């Protein structure tokens, strides 16, 4: 009686390579070669092994395989906040590019918590992800250095890290602030409120610099009123909106540039509830094209941030570093350009261009 005829097709527990070898009448090493180096195995033998695999319903334990080889063939993506659709777009772009290159993408959100961000980085590091894409809002150089010391490449997205040994993919946030303020100036607005919080967040700081540059370029004909609120969420916008609505009409800004769309949406609600017409009395716009803020009665003008392209570019840079190997890869800084999306909150219904 041969080993194959005595083998049972129905095994206790999940079938493994030993079961496949027994049923096919070959060694475990031969099964491994069929799975990993089929060109080394004769056609007749490979056929017996593949038949046994089909009969048993065997599937390779990819996690165990990754731990043995030291490469999970996966990419970890850590974003600061999934409530902002920019990071959802980054994830969508990264996932598509990863899958087209036979990599899986694992996503984690830090919920605006730097400690949680570090926990996620440590998890992907210990799980031996092939590499990590990090989309922070604050300086995270120490966390990045630790992961890179373990041989794990890291690509930083939406933050211009000072590190020179990591690739970066950025949107030009200073340009975003500039074109937003320039749009309001081009509409004839002369007193612009820049509403923001958390200037320690690099994108917030850079958008403020861009808005200041546009106003300075106007040569003294436009005033920028910088209004600090409690946070970047709708609660912060409601706070700013209440203060703006309470101002006398003669001194109230005639335009609002909110550093995030969530702020802008809440400001519009407070102004309109107080009888201030948007955009006739006050034009209002956001600056990050967050789809979570698109449901208001007055469609919001904003600045598109190229999230999907950021995600795709980050995966491309990460895979290039994996291919090149340590010491050979040339780190790159990719800067993408934002563009204006004009809606009714700044120009009125009759002036919005119909596609």
Q: What is the pLDDT along the chain (355 residues), one digit of tens a residue?
A: 333 333 444 555 677 888 889 999 999 889 888 877 777 889 899 899 889 888 887 766 544 454 445 455 899 999 999 988 999 999 999 999 999 999 999 999 999 999 999 999 999 998 889 999 999 988 899 999 999 888 889 999 999 988 778 999 999 999 999 999 999 999 999 999 999 999 999 999 999 999 999 999 999 999 999 999 999 999 999 999 999 999 999 999 999 999 999 999 999 999 999 999 999 999 999 999 999 888 888 999 999 999 999 999 999 999 999 998 777 889 999 999 999 999 999 998 766 654 4
Burial of 189 (0-12, 13-18, 19+ CB in 10 A): buried
Residues linked to residue 77 through DSSP beta bridges, in sequence order: 107, 133
Question: Strands 339-341, 302-304: parallel, antiparallel or unpaired by DSSP?
Answer: antiparallel
Q: What is the Cα Rg of the chain in Å?
A: 27
Question: Strands 333-336, 167-171: parallel, antiparallel or unpaired by DSSP?
Answer: parallel
- The token pair at 265 is 């949406």
Taking the chain, what is the end-to-end CA distance rounded to the nearest angstrom?
76
d(CA 180, CA 256): 10
CB 77 within 8 A of CB 105: yes
**Which residue from 265, 252, 283 is spatially nearest to 186, judged by alpha carbons?**
283
Token pair 């990819």: residue = 62
- Backbone angle region of 98, left / alpha / beta, with phi > 0 → left and psi within -120 to 50 → alpha: alpha
What per-residue confidence (pLDDT) applies to 120?
A: 96
Query: In sequence order, which residues have a C-beta less than 8 Å from that of residue 101 and are 6 or more positions away?
Result: 315, 319
What per-residue confidence (pLDDT) applies to 59?
A: 67
Task: Compute CA 317 distance to the chain's CA centroid, rounded to the nearest angstrom.
Answer: 15
Query: In sequence order, which residues have a C-beta less than 8 Å from that of residue 266 and are 6 or more positions away?
Result: 234, 235, 236, 237, 238, 240, 241
Burial of 355 (0-12, 13-18, 19+ CB in 10 A): exposed
Query: In sequence order, which residues have a C-beta less than 8 Å from that of residue 340 and are 6 or more positions away?
Result: 179, 180, 183, 301, 303, 304
pTM for the full predicted model: 0.77
Phi, psi of 171 (to 5 degrees): -100, 145
What per-residue confidence (pLDDT) applies to 300?
A: 97
Give, for 246, the enclosing helix (H) or strand (E).
helix 234-246
Give, for 28, the enclosing helix (H) or strand (E).
helix 28-36
Q: How many residues comprise the chain?
A: 355
């Amino acid at each position: 009686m041969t080993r194959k005829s005595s083998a049972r097709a129905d095994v206790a527990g999940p079938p493994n390579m030993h079961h496949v070898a027994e049923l096919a009448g070959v060694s475990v090493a031969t099964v491994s070669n069929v799975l990993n180096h089929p060109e080394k195995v004769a056609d007749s033998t490979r056929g017996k092994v593949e038949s046994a695999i089909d009969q048993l319903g065997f599937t390779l334990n990819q996690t165990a395989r990754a731990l043995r080889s030291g490469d999970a063939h996966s990419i970890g993506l850590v974003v600061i906040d999934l409530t902002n659709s920019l990071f959802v777009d980054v994830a969508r772009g990264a996932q598509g590019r990863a899958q087209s290159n036979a990599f899986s993408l694992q996503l984690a959100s830090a919920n605006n918590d730097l400690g949680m961000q570090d926990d996620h980085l440590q998890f992907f590091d210990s799980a031996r992800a092939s590499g990590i894409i990090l989309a922070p809002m604050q300086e995270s150089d120490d966390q990045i250095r630790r992961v890179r010391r373990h041989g794990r490449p890291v690509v930083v997205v939406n933050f211009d890290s000072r590190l020179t040994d990591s690739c970066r993919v950025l949107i030009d946030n200073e340009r975003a602030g500039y074109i937003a303020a320039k749009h309001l100036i081009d509409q004839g607005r002369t007193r612009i409120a820049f509403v923001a919080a958390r200037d320690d967040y690099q994108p917030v700081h850079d958008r403020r610099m861009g808005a200041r540059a546009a106003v300075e370029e106007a040569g003294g004909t436009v005033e920028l009123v910088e209004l600090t609120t409690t946070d970047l969420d709708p609660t912060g916008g409601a706070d700013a909106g209440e203060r703006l609505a309470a101002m006398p009409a003669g001194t109230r800004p005639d335009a609002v540039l909110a550093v995030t769309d969530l702020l802008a949406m809440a400001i519009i609600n407070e102004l309109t509830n107080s009888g201030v017409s948007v955009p006739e009395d006050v034009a209002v716009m956001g600056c990050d094209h967050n789809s979570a803020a698109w449901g208001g009665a007055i469609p919001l003008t904003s600045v598109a941030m190229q999230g999907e392209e950021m995600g795709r570019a980050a995966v491309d840079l990460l895979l290039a570093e994996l291919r090149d190997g340590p010491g050979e890869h040339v780190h790159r800084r990719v800067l993408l350009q934002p563009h204006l999306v004009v809606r009714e909150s700044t120009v009125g219904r009759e002036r919005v261009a119909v596609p």
